[in-house]
């Protein structure tokens, strides 16, 4: 039985065009892994392969989680169903009786900040932020142990986005929910993830890995800003995003964090625990 999500030697091509090459990653229970990279680098392709929406042709993906849910860039709520019924959709598909699924959907919707009026409305009547809450509730009501996030918060303003982050972190504080997320927003990745992986190149490989030892629930804005600056100061990361070199590199923050240049020496060895603070690093 596979523990967590394991991706080994994964490559993918669309026709003659190679998109991903030799991707290795591991996501254990309760951890968050964020994939960042330039547009078109294959983040969605990798996520869709993990979700089973694309067929793996080279390499291996083993998903040992019992229940996987996914959130897309658009909330994708059914406009002809009430918000409550939208949240309950997955439970209906599982065959849960109407009264039980509505009770569970109501409780999750309320936990996501949707009041009775919002639950009774139809999706087009809600703001984008409320629709995002409904989409998150629809995923979490299934009690997934793996959540795949395909930039679901990208259209939200910064305040709304942070509210969504808090809801997600609250769920992770309650139970060991693993999250694999892709985002364009490096700061969002640093705010939420235990590990940030930078994907770049054509075909894309993992170029950089940053392990963040402070639990996401204990990070403040200043810490996130410093760690983001630290990541974006790395030459390999700047090259990945086609950013010009820094003229006068600022001193890197002294907080612990483990940077790994994955492009230098591709031999990926077993994952080991770093004794200093329990972060996992590729050695």
Ligand X SMILES: Nc1ncnc2c1ncn2[C@@H]1O[C@H](COP(=O)(O)OP(=O)(O)OP(=O)(O)O)[C@@H](O)[C@H]1O
Q: Which residues in this chain contact ligand X in the complex, by CB under 6 A?
A: 14, 19, 37, 39-45, 184
Q: Which is nearer to ligand X, 16 or 124 (CB)?
A: 16
CB of 106 vs ligand X, minimal distance in Å: 34
Q: Which is nearer to ligand X, 43 or 209 (CB)?
A: 43
DSSP string, 169-202: HHHHHHS--EEEEE-S-HHHHHHH-SEEEEEETT
Q: Which is nearer to ligand X, 18 or 111 (CB)?
A: 18
Q: Which is nearer to ligand X, 42 or 123 (CB)?
A: 42
List the structure tokens of 128: 């984008």
Q: H or E stretch including 256?
A: none
CB of 203 vs ligand X, minimal distance in Å: 9
CB of 85 vs ligand X, minimal distance in Å: 30
On the CB side of 254, CA atoms within 13 Å amount to 0
Pairing of strands 258-261, 205-211: antiparallel
Q: Which is nearer to ligand X, 43 or 205 (CB)?
A: 43
The closest of 197, 240, 183, 278 to 10, measured between CA atoms, is 197
CB of 46 vs ligand X, minimal distance in Å: 7
CB of 37 vs ligand X, minimal distance in Å: 6
CB of 54 vs ligand X, minimal distance in Å: 8
Q: What interhelical angle do 128-140 and 158-174 show, nearest 10? A: 10
Angle 70-71-77 from CA coordinates, rounded to 5°: 115
């Amino acid at each position: 039985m596979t523990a967590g999500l394991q991706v080994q030697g994964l490559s993918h091509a669309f026709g003659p065009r190679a998109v991903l090459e030799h991707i290795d990653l591991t996501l254990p229970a309760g951890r968050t892994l964020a994939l960042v990279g330039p547009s078109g680098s294959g983040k969605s392709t990798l996520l869709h392969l993990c979700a089973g929406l694309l067929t793996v042709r080279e390499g291996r993906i083993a998903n040992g989680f019992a229940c996987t849910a996914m959130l897309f860039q658009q909330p994708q709520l059914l406009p002809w169903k009430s918000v409550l019924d939208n949240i309950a959709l997955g439970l209906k598909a599982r065959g849960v009786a109407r009264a039980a699924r509505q009770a569970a959907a109501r409780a999750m919707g309320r936990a996501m900040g949707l009041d009775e009026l919002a639950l009774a409305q139809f999706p087009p009547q809600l703001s984008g932020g409320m629709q995002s809450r409904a989409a998150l509730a629809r995923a979490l009501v299934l009690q997934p142990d793996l959540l795949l996030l395909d930039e679901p918060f990208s259209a939200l303003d910064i305040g709304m986005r942070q509210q969504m982050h808090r809801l997600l972190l609250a769920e992770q504080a309650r139970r060991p929910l693993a999250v694999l997320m892709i985002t364009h927003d490096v700061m969002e990745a640093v705010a939420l993830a235990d590990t940030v992986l930078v994907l770049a190149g054509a075909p894309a490989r993992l170029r950089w890995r940053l392990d963040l030892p402070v639990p996401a629930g204990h990070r403040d804005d200043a810490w996130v800003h410093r760690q983001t600056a630290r990541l974006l100061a790395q030459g390999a990361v700047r090259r990945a995003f086609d950013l010009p070199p820094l003229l006068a590199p600022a001193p890197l923050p002294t907080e612990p964090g483990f940077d790994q240049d994955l492009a230098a020496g591709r031999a990926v060895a077993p994952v080991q625990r770093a004794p200093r603070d329990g972060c996992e690093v590729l050695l």
